[in-house]
């Protein structure tokens, strides 16, 4: 690796004004500051265009409004640096550490941030159009208003991203050597990448869609055996039961949680026994998902008053009464699973636009 030019480094450490004056007097001089340590200095407005700063320590440096266009910034340490409004167009930032850096209003269009570390950073209104963010880490970063169109985001990590990007069009989710696949949402890009590159995840999602059954209800200690019996019976029949207990649910998050779980399942079993069952919660869920709901209730109990309205939806099956958990398990295949699977097939036909037909000869 090239070593820093001692004369240039000495000038740089005197600050941005001294550096810019020297640069104006030496416009054709090749700039080499590689491997140097210039942490904690003020370089706001410095003209470092095209400079070789490979591996330089720029910890907490003020580079506000600086010109780093086309600079070699590979493996640089920009941790906690202030790059507000800086020009980093077409800069090389391979494996650069920009964790906790401030990049508000910075321009990185066309820059190479492959495998860069940009976690807990501030990228508000930052221009990242056409950048290579392949395998970059942007965990918990503020990306509100960031412009991303045309960026390569193959393998990017954006967990706990804050804010909403302003421009997410044509994000490339494949590596250089493959044909481009694009999407228009950064979080979706991360998910699609996982699907494309992990057969196990694809298999899990396929299993979830075909075999998962959501069980809803309020399972107080005395009714816990109903839950256990249902889960045990479903497991024996090669289903994957998931349970959501109304009893411990946070009202704020309930509807969203149930919608997510229901959308993943083949059908839903909902026990509405006990007056504590939540009509409002079910009314907020059932209308939105065309999947079979199988309502069950212990005999001698009455459903909540608005339940009849939910039965207007064709994917809500007839209410099944049962004496006890043992009886419910005995009939689960014929009274629960088979009707749910038939209803699921009917719903799929409707979604596919297949017309149901009869013929007069069937009635002779």
User: Is the per-residue pLDDT at 239 higher than 90?
Assistant: no
Q: Tell me what pLDDT residue 252 has.
A: 47
CB 314 within 8 A of CB 339: no
Phi, psi (deg, nearest 5) at residue 215: -110, 120
CA 317 to chain centre: 34
CA 163/CA 82 separation, integer angstroms: 20
Cα distances (Å, whole numbers) of residue 200 to 189, 235, 266: 18, 21, 20
Could you give all domains of the chain from N- to C-terminal order, each with its CATH number?
Answer: 1-197 (2.160.20.80), 203-352 (3.40.50.450)
pTM summary value: 0.62
User: Is the per-residue pLDDT at 32 higher than 90?
Assistant: yes
Which of 64-73, 136-145, 344-353 is predicted least confidently? 344-353
Whose CA is closest to 148, among 162, 130, 172? 130
Give the model confidence (pLDDT) of 121-162 as tens digits.
Answer: 999 999 999 999 999 999 999 999 999 999 999 989 998 999
Run of H or E including 239 = none
pLDDT band at 191 (very low <50, low <70, confident <90, very high): confident
Rama region for 21: left / alpha / beta (φ>0; ψ in -120 to 50; rest): alpha
Average pLDDT, the chain: 87
Give the model confidence (pLDDT) of 216-229 as tens digits.
Answer: 877 677 777 787 88
User: Is the per-residue pLDDT at 201 higher than 60?
Assistant: yes
User: Is the per-residue pLDDT at 198 higher than 90?
Assistant: no
pLDDT band at 81 (very low <50, low <70, confident <90, very high): very high
State whether residue 17 is helix, strand or coil: helix
Q: Tell me what pLDDT residue 279 has.
A: 65
CA 56 to chain centre: 33
Of all residues in the chain, the percent with pLDDT exceeding 70 is 89
Which of 108-122, 281-295, 321-335 is predicted least confidently? 281-295
Give the model confidence (pLDDT) of 257-300 as tens digits.
Answer: 677 777 778 898 988 887 554 566 677 778 878 889 999 998 98
Which of 67-71, 167-171, 184-188 is predicted least confidently? 184-188
Q: Tell me what pLDDT residue 108 has.
A: 98
Whose CA is closest to 141, among 163, 161, 155? 161
CB 152 within 8 A of CB 129: no
Phi, psi (deg, nearest 5) at residue 85: 70, 10
């Amino acid at each position: 690796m090239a070593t820093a030019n001692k004369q240039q480094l000495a000038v740089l450490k005197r600050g941005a004004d001294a550096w810019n004056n020297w640069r104006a007097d030496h416009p054709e001089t090749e700039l080499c500051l590689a491997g140097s340590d210039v942490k904690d200095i003020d370089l706001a407005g410095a003209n470092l265009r095209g400079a070789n700063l490979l591996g330089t320590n720029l910890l907490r440096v003020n580079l506000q409004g600086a010109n780093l266009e086309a600079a070699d910034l590979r493996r640089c340490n920009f941790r906690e640096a202030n790059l507000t409004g800086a020009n980093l167009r077409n800069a090389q930032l391979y494996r650069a550490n920009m964790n906790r850096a401030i990049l508000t209003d910075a321009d990185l269009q066309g820059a190479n941030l492959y495998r860069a570390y940009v976690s807990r950073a501030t990228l508000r209104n930052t221009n990242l159009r056409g950048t290579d963010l392949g395998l970059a880490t942007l965990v918990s970063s503020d990306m509100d208003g960031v412009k991303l169109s045309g960026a390569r985001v193959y393998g990017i990590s954006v967990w706990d991203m804050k804010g909403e990007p302003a421009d997410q069009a044509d994000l490339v989710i494949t590596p250089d050597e493959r044909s481009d696949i694009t999407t228009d949402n950064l979080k979706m890009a991360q998910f699609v990448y996982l699907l494309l590159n992990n057969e196990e995840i694809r298999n899990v999602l396929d299993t979830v869609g075909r075999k998962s059954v959501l069980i809803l209800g309020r399972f107080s200690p005395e009714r816990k055996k109903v839950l256990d019996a249902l889960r045990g019976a479903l497991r024996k029949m090669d289903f994957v039961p998931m349970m959501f207990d109304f009893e411990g649910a946070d009202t704020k998050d309930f509807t969203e949680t149930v919608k997510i779980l229901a959308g993943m399942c083949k059908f839903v079993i909902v026990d509405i026994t006990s007056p504590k069952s939540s009509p409002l919660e079910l009314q907020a869920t059932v209308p939105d998902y065309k999947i079979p709901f199988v309502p069950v209730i212990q005999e001698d109990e009455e459903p909540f008053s608005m339940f009849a309205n939910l039965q207007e939806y064709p994917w809500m099956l007839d209410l099944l009464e049962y004496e006890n958990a043992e009886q419910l398990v005995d009939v689960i295949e014929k009274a629960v699973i088979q009707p749910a699977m038939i209803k699921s097939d009917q719903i799929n036909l409707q979604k596919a636009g297949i017309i149901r037909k009869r013929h007069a000869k069937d009635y002779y």
